[in-house]
Amino acid sequence: MMFYEGNGVVSGKVIIKNASVTPFSDNYAPQSSYSLDDPYEGELFTVFLDLFADWSSNASDRDAMWIAKRPQLSPIDYDTPSGPMTVQEGWHYSSHEMWKFLELPYVDVPIARRLFDN
């Protein structure tokens, strides 16, 4: 698999060793130590890997990608008129942190839609 390095690590950059040959798994390598272990764009990309990669021979690796993100996911209480609500804490609150809400069906859940619109 091109971006999955094993042990839950999803690479943020890869190189193609030989672009003139038919694609095969050993023809890709991480370009740097940059990994997508965050709950923002890393989560978005991991959803696509989870859905579209063939995990039939390594289902434990599929779970490992999600487990590797857990330390980066920080809950925080958001005060509402109805009381506190636990939500995902932002990192820098930049627009890239919201990409997953624009591309995945998270906002189909009414409470997630209200929080996103807020």
pLDDT score at 96: 77
Closest to 15 measured CA to CA, from 27, 25, 4, 24: 27
pLDDT score at 91: 77
In this prediction, residue 1 has a pLDDT band, given cuts at 50, 70 and 90, of low
When pLDDT is averaged across residues 11-20 and rounded to a whole number, the result is 91
What distance in Å separates the CA atoms of residue 38 and residue 108, rounded to the nearest whole number? 22
Q: Is the pTM of this model over 0.85?
A: no
Q: Check whether 89 has a pLDDT greater than 70.
A: yes
pLDDT score at 20: 95
Q: Dihedral (C-alpha) 53, 56, 61, 65: value to the nearest 10 degrees? A: 40
Per the model's pLDDT, the better-predicted residue between 38 and 64 turns out to be 64
pLDDT score at 92: 74
CB 38 within 8 A of CB 58: no
Q: Mean pLDDT of all residues in the chain?
A: 88
When pLDDT is averaged across residues 74-98 and rounded to a whole number, the result is 84
